[in-house]
Amino acid sequence: MTSSVSLTDALLVPQDVQDLLFREARTANSFSAEPVSDEQLQAIYDLVKWAPTSMNTQPLRALVVRTPEGKERLLPHMSEGNRAKTASAPVTVVLAADTDFHENLPKTFPHKPDAKDLFVGSEEGREGFARLNSLLQVGYFIIGVRAAGLAAGPMTGFDSAGIDGEFFAGNKWKSLVVVNVGKPGDNPWFGRLPRLDYDEVVETV
Ligand SMILES: Cc1cc2nc3c(=O)[nH]c(=O)nc-3n(C[C@H](O)[C@H](O)[C@H](O)COP(=O)(O)O)c2cc1C
């Protein structure tokens, strides 16, 4: 038994699930025309909504771009290298942080009725808080896409002010990561890049 097999066995979820979510999951750079349904997107959200955020704030918001008109509005704001793959994806999700997340605290943190007041009047503080927790939720979303048997193509190569002006002028959403979602198309992968080993990234005291 190699050490990687025994490490695999040290985990509770079966190896095929480990592979689906991590080892064999790849970042797709092209997509087939096979559609992604609203039901699939709802199922992904319904799973990943249970992952944790600080004070249960859940600041992540999502804009689902699936129509040709929506894509036409989005594509000019993507960096040049990200345009073709974004055009090819059946669905592109703009993931954003809502800096007005505190408005939901009476519902999401009901045992502390004054929780919302901690955030009133400090938009800058709220923005940092929203970004941190939304980025955590972006990671959960990517794994949720994989759990649905789909490929995700996350991108930060875009003009966030441009996207916010185009789509979020009427709210306090700030775009963070744009994710293409679908089945991989032709020649979808770049070469697999090396990952750092445990000993390179962990210190124990
Ligand atoms: C937050 C984030 C932003 C990324 N931005 C881009 C991007 O703008 N353009 C791009 O082609 N790839 C982008 N990537 C893809 C990464 O380069 C890719 O996920 C990484 O190299 C791992 O590839 P693999 O999953 O195929 O092993 C991004 C990935 C993440 C998680």
Distance CA 154, CA 175 (A): 13
Ligand 1 pocket, Cβ-based, cut-off 6 angstroms: 26-27, 82, 154-157, 177, 189, 192-193
Model confidence pTM above 0.85: yes
Report the relative pairing of strands 91-98 and 60-65 from DSSP bridges. antiparallel
Query: How far apart (Å, rounded) are the C-alpha atoms in residues 106 and 128?
Result: 20
Percent of the chain with pLDDT over 90: 95
Count of C-beta atoms within a 10 Å radius of residue 108: 15
H/E stretch holding 4 reads: helix 3-9
Residue 104 has pLDDT above 70, yes or no: yes
Distance set, CA 5 to CA 17, 113, 194 (Å): 14, 49, 19
pLDDT in tens, 121-146: 888 999 999 999 999 999 999 999 99
The pLDDT assigned to 6 comes to: 85
Residue range 17-41, pLDDT digits in tens: 999 999 999 999 999 999 999 999 9
pLDDT tens-digit profile of 179-205?
Answer: 999 999 999 999 999 999 999 999 999
Cβ–Cβ under 8 Å, residues 109 and 102: no
Q: Ligand 1 pocket test: which of 156, 176, 180 has the largest number of ligand atoms within 8 Å of its C-beta?
A: 156
